Every structure is written in structure tokens, then in C-alpha cells.
Structure 1
Amino acid sequence: MPQRTLLFVLFDGVQSLDVTGPLEVFGGAEQHTPGTYRIHTASLDGGPVRTSSGLTLVPDGALDGAPRPHTLLVPGGHGTRDPDPRLTGWLRTHGPDAPRLVSVCTGAILLAAAGLLDGRRATTHWAYCDRLARDHPAVTVDPEPIYVRDGHIATSAGVTAGVDLALALVEEDLDRDVALAVARHLVVFLRRPGNQAQFSAQLAAQTARREPLREIQRWITEHPAGDLSVESLAARARLSPRHFARAFREETGTTPGRYVDRVRLEHARRLLEDTGDGVGEVSRASGYGTPEAMRRAFVKALGTAPAEYRRRFRPAPTRSPAPIP
């Protein structure tokens, strides 16, 4: 198996976790399977950089003297707000030569500024998707997924999504056993599917200000198979159905029905990904009642049926991995 050289681009204002998260994943894979990855870090002039949190990172050298990478990884951070033209120029020149080009968080802004995302689908941190789309109309920005693959280019959402993407790349380069060993060592999920939303239902909606409504949000999440009609939820909040529906929308930014739909879909996806429960059992546990009702919800929201979703996103069972040395 050929050794892959990974080049991490460093710059002032970089987000430290955008660098160290993926680096720990690839470094863990190298420890598990020596000779797999050669990791190199570089800044424009080879000097230390100060991260957005104040941490100083010392690179291995300058970008111009760095080894030609198989994977060029560009992290994000405050330093992408006003990109250094020398950095975007370097990326414009050398980025196309990399067999695999990866960005974490707002690193996608640097790739876009270098013209490397034109005509491609990409994502970034949810708070910067509008900016990316506005400033770079040639890029198709998808604000939903935690990471997006378009050919040899992969872009990811904020911070921890870089770890998910790195684990997916390790699984692709080596195998699932190595990726699982690294994930267990770092105590993270092996693989959140790339199309998983950046926000859970609870985070996507605003948290209600009043305790009765916050309690209703918690109740919905904990009881997706329960009676979650407006009338039932209103009675639990001790409000009239009309008052409850109006107050819920004002405080959360969505209607009770849409919130329930998203919680149930999220719950069903998690069961399909993480368990061997049958589609009928998943549909009942998630509050759909019947497989057909769940199928309609999946097709409407995701464009795929539950059984096909499971085939695409639930890994096949494998043997237990060897521990990381």
C-alpha cells in the first residue's frame, strides 16, 4: 500500500481544532498501520502561526518547500475572513495538482477564493454558507450536510465535521477496521453519514424561552412514538391549542408539526444507521406507525426510501479491530 503524504496548510487566525482534529485521526491511522500516512504542516513563510484561540502552532516548514501532497488539507478560522492573497495564490497554483483536496469549516472560503470550487457542490460552517454563496456564485453551496464530496474535492462543516470527514477518508484509504480503531481511541462516532444535517432537530430550532415550552421540546425528543398532536402537547403545556401553537412558533421559529416531523425523521435515521431493527419496528418506535408512512416521510425529506437509506449509510459488520499501539 503506497504511503500518502498529507499537507496541512497553516495561517494566522486558523482554528486549532480544524487542524488538530483531522491530524489526530490521520496520525492515529498511521500509528495503527505504520507507513500509511506522512503528515506535513506548512505556513506561507515557514514561521509559527497564532490560532484564533491564541495557541501558537509551529509548522514543519514553508509551503513552497513542502512535499507534493496526495491530500492537501485547508482548515478554517478567523484568518479566512480576509484571505491573504499570497495564500489564495499558492492554493490556486498548487491546489489543482493534489489528487485529493480537503477543506474543514471555513477553509472552503479559501478554496473558493482560489477558484477551486467553481462548478462544484460544497459546504462550510452553517454561519458562513450565505457568505460563500454570495461571494462565489459559481459554487453550489449546500448548507445542510456535515460534509460534501464532489469528485476529488471534499468540504466539511464546522470543527468536529472535519473529524467525521477524516474518518471517512481513512476508511476509504485503508478499511473500516482502522477507522473504527481510531474512532474508539478518540472516543467519537466511527462515521456520521456525510448527508447528516449540521444541526439536530433540537439545535436547528431555537430553544424556547419559557420553561413549559422547553419542557415540551424535551418531551418530543424523548417520546417520538407518543401522541405528539398539537392538542396533546398543548394540554401538557397547560395552554389552549391555539395559544400553544402560536407561542411555540414564536419562540422556536418553527411550528409544532414541523418540529415533530424533524425529530421523528432524525430518530428513524439513527435507528436505521445504528441498529438491526426491522423497518416496521423502526417506524413504530419513531412514531410513524406504519412502514408506508415512514417511507413517505423519507422520500419527501431525503429522496430515498428507508431500506435504501440503510443500505447506503449503515456499515456492514466487521471483525473487531486491533487496538492502536
Structure 2
Amino acid sequence: MAELTVGLLLYPAFEVLDMAGPIEVLNVLSVYMGKSLQLYVIAATMEPVSPGPIIPGPSSSFAGQQLYMPTHTLDNAPALDLLIVPGGPGSNNKEALQPLLDFIRNVYRGYQGHPPAKYLFSVCSGSLMFAWAGVLDGQHATTNKSFWTFITSNGPRTHWVAKARWVTSGNIWTTSGVTAGIDGMLALVSSIWGEETAEKVSATIEHNRATQSDDDPWAEKYDCQDVSPVAGGWR
């Protein structure tokens, strides 16, 4: 039996490094540290998912030429210990994402006989999807600092923490922009398997790791301030 079952939720126009950073941490954990992990790549359908617009022919964008294959759909995904949700340009289309938002909420609460996930993990604007799914209501979270105003204004029921590389609130982990997903996943690895294991993974990928959650220069660069929940917020 796997020590950790992992679900990676993909949608059109996701950010590749948001996905690849945390997954590489888990790759090393599995290949070099001998941990038993199981990965499920989940999407709305079994069609390939692209991080960019798919335009047939030589005019296709570089990102649009990349295709990632799901293993499961929202309807047949198995029980998960950890759900990873990357951000990206496609994360701001609430209407199109509604089935995925419902899935996030169900994984958080437990559904179809599955127990609630042990961990929810977002990178960058993936926290916006968490907010829209309702799992950040009353929680503390962070997100990409270059899109701070837009994302925090669309999550009015959340305590948004500006100076944070990652934030843990209960079993929900949210990380800042793009590369912060690597640091956040290493912190999650540390919390599960210990700091020595996290340090070995970090050294294996030669990553200059931020070990403190508030080690974040980007809040100051983008003049981001903490944002408190708005009474009543939207639903």
C-alpha cells in the first residue's frame, strides 16, 4: 500500500512549474528515498490537457504544443491523501472551472465513500480555486504576489497573508508564486517524513530552499499587504 496517494488536478492553461516543482520533489522522494507513492493525474475528461492554447499547425504556441495525459476524470478519481492544484492563466475562469471546484470541495469534505483528503496543496493562483471552492472560508492562505489584488478580492472570506512563501491552515497548504511550490512541498515532506528527508530531497535537486514560511521578498516588491475577510463575503 502506498504511503501517500497523490492527485494532480489539471485544467487548460495551467502553469507548468506550479505542477512540475512539487511533483519533482515527490519524484525524488520516491526514486531516491524509497517512499511508496501513488500518483493520479485528474482532469475533466481523458483528453490531453495543455498549458497553452492548442492551435493546430506551425502557428501553435510553444505551451500549446505540450500535452499532459490524465489517468482519471473527476467522476472516477480514487480516494486521495494529497490533492495538488497548480495555478496558471486558466485558473481565473470560474464558470469553466465549476466542475473542478466541486471536485476540490468534495475531496476536502469526503465523498462517494471516500474519506476527506489529508492534505490540500495549491501553488500560485491555485489558491483562487480553493477560495472559489469554499475550502478557504475562514482559513489563512497566501498566493502569487504579482496577482495579489485580483486574487484576494476574489476570496473575501479568507485571511490572506502577504509575507509568506507558504501558509498552512489546518490541512490546507497554499504557496506563493510558481517556484514557491517547491519550498512548500519540501515543508510538507518535512512535516510527514522529517526534516532530514526534506533536506536530502532539496540537496538532490540542488535547490536553494527557503526553510521559513515567511522567507518571502515578493510581498514587499509588489507592495502586498495582509487582507482580512470581508464580513458576509460572497458565496
TM-score when normalising by structure 2? 0.80
Structure 1, residues 267-296: CA drift from partner, whole Å, max 9, x if none? xxxxxxxxxxxxxxxxxxxxxxxxxxxxxx
**Where in structure 2 are the equivalents of 1:129-168 lying within 5 Å?**
129-168=148-187
Contact 1:46 1:63 in 2 (8 A): no
CA distance in 1, matches of 2:45, 2:154: 28
Unpaired runs of 5+ residues, structure 1, are 206-252, 254-325
Contact 2:163 2:219 in 1 (8 A): no
- Match for residue 200 of structure 2? 181
CA distance in 1, matches of 2:130, 2:190: 24
Structure 1, residues 40-90: CA drift from partner, whole Å, max 9, x if none? 211111221111433221122213222211111111001111131111122
Supply the RMSD in Å over aligned alpha carbons. 2.0
- Match for residue 273 of structure 1? none
Q: CA deviation at 1:159?
A: 0.7
Between Structure 1 and Structure 2, the one with more helix by share is: 1
CA distance in 2, matches of 1:27, 1:123: 25
CA distance in 2, matches of 1:177, 1:39: 23
- Match for residue 72 of structure 2? 61
Structure 1, residues 108-132: CA drift from partner, whole Å, max 9, x if none? 0001001010001111000222122
Secondary structure, counterpart of 2:30 in structure 1:
helix
The reply on whether 1:193 has 2:218 as its aligned counterpart is no
Shift of the 51–186 alpha-carbon distance from structure 1 to 2, 3 Å rule, reads: same
Which letter does structure 1 place at the counterpart of 2:204?
Answer: H
Q: CA deviation at 1:8?
A: 0.7
Shift of the 172–10 alpha-carbon distance from structure 1 to 2, 3 Å rule, reads: same
4+ long deviations beyond 6 Å:
none
Which letter does structure 2 place at the counterpart of 1:5?
Answer: T
Structure 1, residues 100-154: CA drift from partner, whole Å, max 9, x if none? 1110000000010010100011110002221222122111111221110111101
Rg bigger for which structure?
1
TM-score when normalising by structure 1? 0.59
Unpaired runs of 5+ residues, structure 2, are 53-62, 110-115, 224-235
Which letter does structure 2 place at the counterpart of 1:106?
Answer: S
Count of residue correspondences: 204
CA distance in 1, matches of 2:210, 2:31: 20
Contact 2:128 2:154 in 1 (8 A): no
User: Which has the bigger relative contact order, CA under 8 A and spacing at least 6?
Assistant: 2
Contact 1:167 1:191 in 2 (8 A): no
- Among residues 91, 94, 98, which one is paired with 1:85 in the alignment? 98
CA distance in 1, matches of 2:154, 2:190: 34
CA distance in 2, matches of 1:136, 1:177: 36
Q: Which moved more, 1:172-181 or 1:119-128?
A: 172-181
